[in-house]
Amino acid sequence: MPLALLALAVGAFGIGTTEFVMMGLLPDVANDLHISIPAAGHLVSAYALGVVIGAPLLAAVTARLSRRHVLIGLMALFVAGNALSALAPGYDSLLAARFLSGLPHGAFFGVGAVVATGMVAPERRARSVSLMFLGLTVANIAGVPVATLVGQHLGWRATFFSVSTIGLAAIVSLALLVPHDHTHASATGLRGELAALRSLPVWLALGTTVAGFGALFAAYSYVTPMLTDFAGYAETSVTLLLALFGVGATAGNLLGGRLADHSMRGTLFGGLASLAVVLLLFPVLMQAEWSAALGVALLGMAAFITGSPLQLMVMEKASAAPSLASSANQAAFNLANAGGAWIGGLALASGFGVTSPALAGAALAALGLAVAGLAYAVDRRREIVRLGRVVATHVPEQSGALHH
């Protein structure tokens, strides 16, 4: 595996840290800026909105630029957004800075996935994507807890300055390690990238991402009350358990990358089925501390087994112009975050119990399996039609040759 994947992983580590650290800093930010906790929560939404808007927009407007230069430019925007967050004089300016920080997120992962797969042999494409995503999962183990501690002891502004430093390290790594010869601009340009989004298989792949990762966030968004109110953990133990989720996610990400290189669709189906089973078992797993800890780790593993095959499937369906579709998949991940949390919240608010969001997640995982199955059926039908046209073209030619 090329060293350039390390540069992509460093950037992913910084992005993963800044995305999730705000959850741990909400009380500090709220106290310092004299706002309520719900108002501070809008800072999380502002970042997610930046991801959803920025992923397709930045991928589209940079379609004719060198992908290496695009990655460096996106990290520069990331550094600027986090530095402005640290310097924000008030709530409104911090809200705008968080939106700015989210803009490069999806495009970086989308374009980075195209670059990563272009530097390796075809049989290692999924593994290369999983190594880039490794930075994101490791951020949940080390980056977020450390950044939260920095914010609690040195102030939340110090956290965002620290994340900016990670972004600068990523820029240096990208400049030194990503070769020029693998990062040429898209041959089709913006028109070709937009044309790729008119494909039904691409939209079915994006739909699988929304449903599959929506299943994760339906449960994970409410895992803290499950652990404290149902499993009996003290609130002080939750941070360690969330790090355990990161360990499971890291293991699942690496496993999914290896398996998807052998069977992309088999890994996707198996991952979604495993996720549905884990979520169905959550009410049982949450009845004891040891099994609850196991359930959190299994949730991370089952969900992130599907990460690499989902990204690869979207790129495969838009093979002629993959950058925009790949970035749109990152927007789909964030739609899954918001949508899954909303559906899990509906289950909780309806009085079905503290573990009901996990059952709602299981239903979403089943929906993801159904959409993936439909995508497979569409692919099979198109392949049959294609083979039929090939046979129809060659049979008359052979018949004519026999006649003569």
Q: Give the pLDDT confidence score for residue 48 in this predicted structure.
A: 82
Q: Which tokens hold the place of 17?
A: 């840290």
The contacts of residue 191 (CB under 8 Å, 6+ apart) are none
Domains of the chain: 1-185 (1.20.1250.20), 199-394 (1.20.1250.20)
* Pairwise pLDDT comparison (263 vs 318), residue with the higher score: 263
Tell me the pLDDT band of 275, cut-offs 50, 70 and 90.
very high
The mean of the pLDDT values for the chain is 84
Percentage of residues in the chain with pLDDT exceeding 90? 32
**Which amino acid, one-letter code, is at 256?**
G
pLDDT confidence bin for 134, thresholds 50/70/90: confident
In degrees, rounded to 5, the angle at the alpha carbon of residue 212 between the alpha carbons of residues 209 and 218 is 120
The larger pLDDT score, comparing residue 75 to residue 57, is at: 75
Q: Which helix (H) or strand (E) holds 370?
A: helix 356-403
Grouping H, G, I as helix, E, B as strand and the rest as coil, residue 200 is helix
Q: Which two tokens stand for residue 351?
A: 């009085």
Among 1-10, 19-28, 151-160, 355-364, the minimum mean pLDDT is found in 19-28
The structure tokens listed for 277 are 């089973």
Signed CA dihedral, 319, 139, 29, 342: sign only: positive
- Write down the pTM of the prediction: 0.80
Which helix or strand (DSSP H or E) is residue 114 part of? Answer: helix 91-118
